[in-house]
Structure 1
Amino acid sequence: MLIDSHVNLHAPQFDEDREAVIARARAAGIGLMVNICDKIPNFPKVRAVADAADIWCTVGAHPHEAKDHQDLTSAELARLAADPKVVGIGETGLDFHYDLSPRDVQAEVFRQHVAAARETDLPLVVHTREADEVMGAILEEEYSAGPFKLLMHCYTSGAELARRAAALGAWFSVSGIATFRTADDVRAVIADMPGNRIILETDCPYLAPVPHRGRRNEPAYLPAVLDKLAEIRGWSREEAEQRTEDAFFALFDRIPRP
């Protein structure tokens, strides 16, 4: 089974043809999708997409949105996560590239998400960009206070943060960036990730893989990511598909395995 662990199907880019996009995903062999929450006001739209039997969702606030979520508590996240179609906390984390929210606010909102992941035993979906040292320190400090499951989504950060996260038992998701011609550093990190903790994502509508680069991304393009992962790791296509499926269900264990 091919599984897209990170889609944004509630995004306005899909308003004109959302059902057609989902139909194309199914036709391409995508058996499950996880629709990712970017901010709490969008959660009803995120959850509505997950009414479909093969789509699940998360609840959380992207670091870009942290400035508008300074009052968000782990208790509120846990309350929303009681919905049986919610299978993860996030996307959350740190983004020091755009700095659309103050860094200290990003960190505090991120810690509330960590606490919710610990409380609910749901995986934490982590976004990190140009924040390797701070991210590593927060993850290690929080993990020492009590373990939680975490996914380093669309991982493009450095090898040292990957090593620190892997030591905490993190999973990693590979996106279309792995297919980009200039992404040799990303491919080098992917080659060294724990082989039993790698999953796939499109992050659609963003980051369409080669040969679809420049188009709006969609889950039907996930096979291109699978093929690149297999090439990087020296796996057959079948082995890559089985390994990523096994890793997905080990992480998102609220989802019943077909």
Structure 2
Amino acid sequence: MKPNLTTTLVESLRERISSGHFAPGDKLPSENTLIAEHGVSRTVVREAITRLQAEGLVHTRRGAGSFALTPPAEPQMASALVPRTLDERRALMEFRVGFESEAAAKAAATYSIKDLAAMDEALRGFEAASGNASASMSCDYEFHLAVARATANNYFSHAVQNFGPSMIAMPRRRLEPSESRSAAQWGLVAAEHQAVRDAIASGDPQLAAAAMRIHLANSIYRLESESGSKN
């Protein structure tokens, strides 16, 4: 029964997001509200939110709740942009190396105290997630979105929002707690995020671009190492 209940809830929330009932940035109903409205368990609600996160339709901020993201204009476009194979995830990461390195460089010249605060909040959330794949993916996305917003160029932040959390190239099986990374691996990612943040705060565009490039190049390496020959 549970998979059917989860699928039904996913389809209901997906339709409400795509139709604009939940506008981009709107907070979704709380777990308790969804439980009452749909007559499902807390486990079903959490599984549905996790699936919507993987589709790039929802992101969750620790302690704040889940929020709707901007859906692409065409459903076919959404399917095309969500990376599923190793080759697609690698292609997305290669695009991000150029795109986000430039964003980090720009951010170093334009950031505000508010922007740094947003990065710090995402960093704290990532560390607090303790390797939980779904929560870490959300905080990872929030960090990169904060960098994009720090450029003071809406095209950068709009592009990141269009990708949504699906831009974080994490294999679907890694959303299972038993497949979460070791503490050391999560620590490496956290350290790289911190290096990007500190480079931006230094006001040095070249240093910021280099820090982001190193982080994303390492992400490609980790993606391929963890995926092995299965993809």
> Normalising by the residue count of structure 1, what TM-score does the alignment of the two structures yield?
0.26
Give the structure, 1 or 2, with the largest relative contact order (CA under 8 Å, sep 6 or more): 2
> Normalising by the residue count of structure 2, what TM-score does the alignment of the two structures yield?
0.28
Higher strand proportion (structure 1 or 2): 1
Higher helix proportion (structure 1 or 2): 2
